[in-house]
Amino acid sequence: MTHRERFIRTLKREKIGGQVPHFELVFFLTMEAFGKVHPSHREYGQWNQMSLTEKKLHMEDMAGLYLDTARRFHHSGIFVHPNPGRTFEEIQWLLETIREKSGDEYYLTMHGDPTWSIPDGNTMMEFSRRMYEEPELLNEESERRTEACLELAARLDSHGHLLDGFTLCSDYCFNVNPFFSREKFEELITPYLSSVIRGYRELGYYTIKHTDGNIMPIADLLVDCGPHALHSLDPQGGVSLGTMMQTYGDRVALIGNVNCGLLQTGTDEECRADVLRSLHEGMQNGGGYLFSTSNCIYTGLPLSRYELMLSLWEQYGNYDRTGN
């Protein structure tokens, strides 16, 4: 099977045998690994000044960097950042370039979440006021954003097999608890999360719902919205992969749970124990698990620690060798 086929079968919670598929939402250490700036960190203003020849070279470089990352670190999927291009034509161009270079080897996904996330510090008070005084206006905006997401998905679909699915990256939770009360989550989030996931499914796309933090008070609501998978199952937010697998593993695939905090600041022994724990808990059902960190490979995380994590995955992350 290709990496893409193994990824999709895992999203469908099928038993695949062999190595557990691996995926990172983002790998930002491209400068350290390849001597190149990650695509999402490149300046859009420079793009507007480029000639067509320069843009073509830049697209080739970005597509090549995504593929170099996937090949070197054994990723089964690629989360594409349509940057610096932001128009539909530029998004299409980047996806087509990746497909031309890789065929159907990798699962391709990009962001597509219309729902509200935790507001930043500058807008939190105002957003909190609006939740209680103007919820109908927030929902009207959510409806417009949902329609825009599905329009983009349909347009991409009309141009052939460019994308396999969408990753919905609005964060809802702090480490202690969700930002939204359960009541407000059901009022402001679930109708539109359910709607966009249903629309993506009807178009033939797969969906991964990402949110950091303590999702446990709303985990059932997230699963009820119908995503194919949940990411990132944050242990720093108190999320137990074992509990999630036992409770929801028959309804949704699970991605993540290797503690990023330990990878950055823990000892080698702590990292090793956490990686092995994640593999043991994630592999208990014999499928439906994508090995990943609890966030991403972010700037400042030592590349050597990620390489340690991968070496343990290569040794212990095989269903056939564990009997699962």
> Helix, strand, or coil here: 19?
strand
Q: Which sequence spans correspond to the domains of the chain?
A: 3-317
Distance CA 102, CA 75 (A): 13
Threshold 0.75, pTM exceeds? yes
Distance CA 231, CA 239 (A): 11
| Helices marked H in the chain | 3-11, 30-34, 44-49, 52-72, 88-102, 124-133, 135-157, 182-188, 190-202, 219-224, 241-248, 260-265, 268-282, 303-316, 319-322
Asked if residue 164 lies in contact with residue 8, where contact means CB atoms within 8 angstroms, the answer is yes
Per-residue pLDDT of the chain in tens (324 residues, 90 and over written 9): 999 999 999 999 999 999 999 999 999 999 999 999 999 988 777 788 889 999 999 999 999 999 999 999 999 999 999 876 679 999 999 999 999 999 999 999 999 999 999 999 999 999 999 999 999 999 999 999 999 999 999 999 999 989 999 999 999 999 999 999 999 999 999 999 999 999 999 999 999 999 999 999 999 999 999 999 999 999 999 999 999 999 999 999 999 999 999 999 999 999 999 999 999 999 999 999 999 999 999 999 999 999 999 999 999 999 998 766
Distance CA 63, CA 55 (A): 12
CA angle 283, 320, 207 (to 5 degrees): 45
Distance CA 289, CA 282 (A): 6
Burial per residue of 65-88, b for 16 or more beta-carbon CB atoms within 10 angstroms, e otherwise: bbbebbeebebbbbbbbbbbbeee
Under the phi-then-psi rule, with left for phi > 0, alpha for psi from -120 to 50, and beta for the rest, what region is 298? Answer: beta
Q: Phi, psi at residue 85, to the nearest 5°?
A: -70, 135
Q: Check whether the bond before 232 is cis (ω within 30° of 0).
A: yes
- Over residues 190-239, the pLDDT tens digits come to 999 999 999 999 999 999 999 999 999 999 999 999 999 999 999 999 99
What does the block give as tokens for 40? 């999402």
Under the phi-then-psi rule, with left for phi > 0, alpha for psi from -120 to 50, and beta for the rest, what region is 199? Answer: alpha
DSSP for 280-319 reads HHHTTTSSSEEB-BSS-B-TTS-HHHHHHHHHHHHHH-BH
CATH class name, domain 3-317? alpha beta
Asked if residue 178 lies in contact with residue 215, where contact means CB atoms within 8 angstroms, the answer is yes
DSSP state of 121: T
Asked if residue 179 lies in contact with residue 127, where contact means CB atoms within 8 angstroms, the answer is no
